[in-house]
Structure 1
Amino acid sequence: MATNPELNPLITTFPPSGTQSLPTRKIRVIGVPLDMGASRRGVDMGPSAMRVAGLEARLEALGHQVKDGGNVAVEVAETQNVGSPNARYLKQIADTCTRTAKAVTKALEDGMTPMVLGGDHSIAVGSVSGVAEFYRRQNQKIGVIWIDAHSDINTPDTSPSGNVHGMPLAALLGMGPEQLTNVLGYSPKISPENTVLVGVRDIDPAERANIRRAGVGEVYTMRDIDERGMRAVMEEALRAAGRGTAGYHVSLDMDWIDPEDAPGVGTPVRGGATYREAHLAMEILADHGRMLSFEIVEVNPVIDEHNRTADLAVELACSAFGKKIL
């Protein structure tokens, strides 16, 4: 019996296990080891933990070209003035976000897909601003898929903690202090109708009002995922974020996943997405092919178990960039 596919048309050759059939990308990894936006310290080590988990090698195994751009400069919290208790370390966070935005814009100018590693979720002000700026120059707008246990749409006036990692989405929509809303000199960065929250389950009372005031297009809670399933939710979310846009930025907070699977996160909340639900969401993202940029935040090795959460973060990044089961 012939075993050469050229001699036997019934034999199909398959790519090696773990490879993907989607177009390959040039990816630039950008670390932002910031942990001044939260009360619990440790997420500044998140970028290193994900690198140690083999991020670059595992993406390259899928056929992508990966260049690690190093870390954005971040001040050390112990050397800084906290500032206002309503928005702790606001100036330092805004400065870091400005540097992050410029690094992200530069990656896109160089024809690369930015992959930003946090750090706490306040860095998203920089990540999204950089992507939005690049496409604004081309008279295009972007959508945002915000995958998180929290809505992060507080302002200094509504925040019960003063932690800026609970404010980035508000800032990107033009709400909150000028230091954050006006990064790169304009505001807002995104339109509410193209902003989608996925998997939220812990929202402050004032944030509910802020969501309505901002006019956020789609908000999918964990109940929606429970009742309707991840596929239906993600398909609708991607349609909303992609409508009339160049594509979308994906901001993945690892606390979206249940602490059983992701124990090492900045603000764990029970009842999150399961391991397979999380992978399915990323696989659907890859299938649509309109992701412009990607970030993973809130990995905290200090409270992790044998780097489990960072390893899962890298797995999910691979699924988002096209890794298939078969």
Structure 2
Amino acid sequence: MRKISIIGMPMDLGQMRRGVDMGPSAIRYAGVVERLQTLFDVIDDQGDIAIGRPEVKIDPESNLRNLELVAEKSGLLAEEVDNIISTGAFPLVLGGDHSIAIGTLAGVAKHYKKLGVIWYDAHGDLNTAETSPSGNIHGMPLAVSIGEGHELLTNIGGFTPKVLPENIVIIGARCLDDGEKKLIKEHGIKVYTMHEVDRLGMARVMEETIGYLKERTDGVHLSLDLDGLDPTDAPGVGTPVTGGISYRESHLAMEMLAESDIITSAEFVEVNPILDEKNKTAIAAVALMASLFGDKLL
């Protein structure tokens, strides 16, 4: 029996542009529950984790924005994801800014000895307090998950790291800070930039990614930032970067992941309806989810 549980994480504490907290609502409005009902035997929308409207605070020591609040809310998400997996359901998390991945991965990693991660994103999200130009935690979740960063974040769930660098594949990168490039080289993280996507083609990129992760992991988490897509296809994101992955290439990627049957948890993040065009980005997110879970034309 195929079971999926949806949890919304309407958090915008990891960055400065308001509106991304409405991402889960936009995705639901785009019909995510109705679209996935035909693909699962049981679908349970558990609603949203309560974030509230806390005052923005800058940590005086680290200069990180909303450090304690992000840590607190990430801990709540980790518990929810942990519980969902314990029931035998597939956890699907709706964001929210990409800092929510800190909590998602903390909950998922408890259930796998060799967790793999596909980071589908224009950015590496491998900054730390020392390398971040902005202090925004949504640029740090992957670093945090490999044990690099503030201990309030790296120790969520009571253990670190959540994932080993050699079990990560970044797809679609086209905006990396100097500190992130250094970390990628130091840890040997596998990255397919847009250069590789263009040169090899998405089919080859996904074949290599699936083969690479199948060999070394016992579960794979997909963390899909909608800014991985080109802004023409997904305009409603906080940090758009031109020259991204196309809508059709993204569908192919999701279809190939569905065929491979390696994805054990997923999150779709950074949908910002305030910056969107007629909910276009949330609609794209729902369509990609359907492909990920096996929806086919014929």
Structure 1 and Structure 2 fold alike (TM over 0.5): yes
SS of the equivalent of 1:143 reads strand
SS of the equivalent of 1:161 reads coil
| Structure exhibiting the larger radius of gyration computed from Cα positions | 1
TM-score, normalised to structure 1, is 0.89
> Structure 1 vs Structure 2: percent identity of aligned residues?
51
Post-superposition CA distance 1:217-261 (Å, at most 9, x none): x10001101000001101111222332321200000000000001
What amino acid is the match of 1:106? N
Aligned length: 297
SS of the equivalent of 1:250 reads strand
Question: Is residue 2:201 matched to residue 1:235?
Answer: no
Q: How does 1:132-143 map to 2 (within 5 A)?
A: 132-135=109-112, 140-143=113-116
Q: CA RMSD in A?
A: 1.2
Q: Aligned residue for 1:124?
A: 101
Q: Aligned residue for 1:299?
A: 271
Question: Offset at 1:194?
Answer: 0.8
Q: Aligned residue for 2:70?
A: 93
SS of the equivalent of 2:297 reads coil
Runs of 4+ in 1 over 6 A off after TM superposition: none
Q: How does 1:110-259 map to 2 (within 5 A)?
A: 110-135=87-112, 140-216=113-189, 218-259=190-231
Question: Offset at 1:213?
Answer: 2.3
TM-score, normalised to structure 2, is 0.97
What amino acid is the match of 2:274? V
Equivalents in 1 of 2:212, 2:63: separation in Å? 33
Question: Offset at 1:205?
Answer: 1.3
Post-superposition CA distance 1:153-197 (Å, at most 9, x none): 000000001100000000000101001111111111101111110
Listed as ranges, the gaps of 5+ residues in structure 1 are 1-23
Question: Is residue 2:277 matched to residue 1:321?
Answer: no
Q: Aligned residue for 2:48?
A: 71
Are the aligned partners of 2:4 and 2:40 in contact in 1 as well (CA < 8 Å)?
no
Q: Aligned residue for 2:6?
A: 29
Equivalents in 1 of 2:6, 2:238: separation in Å? 21
Q: Out of 55, 59, 63, which is 1:83 matched to?
A: 59
Q: Out of 18, 21, 38, which is 1:61 matched to?
A: 38
Are the aligned partners of 1:230 and 1:277 in contact in 2 as well (CA < 8 Å)?
yes
Equivalents in 1 of 2:161, 2:40: separation in Å? 36
Are the aligned partners of 2:166 and 2:187 in contact in 1 as well (CA < 8 Å)?
no
What amino acid is the match of 2:218? A
Question: Offset at 1:75?
Answer: 3.7
What amino acid is the match of 1:239? G
Listed as ranges, the gaps of 5+ residues in structure 2 are none
Equivalents in 1 of 2:281, 2:262: separation in Å? 26
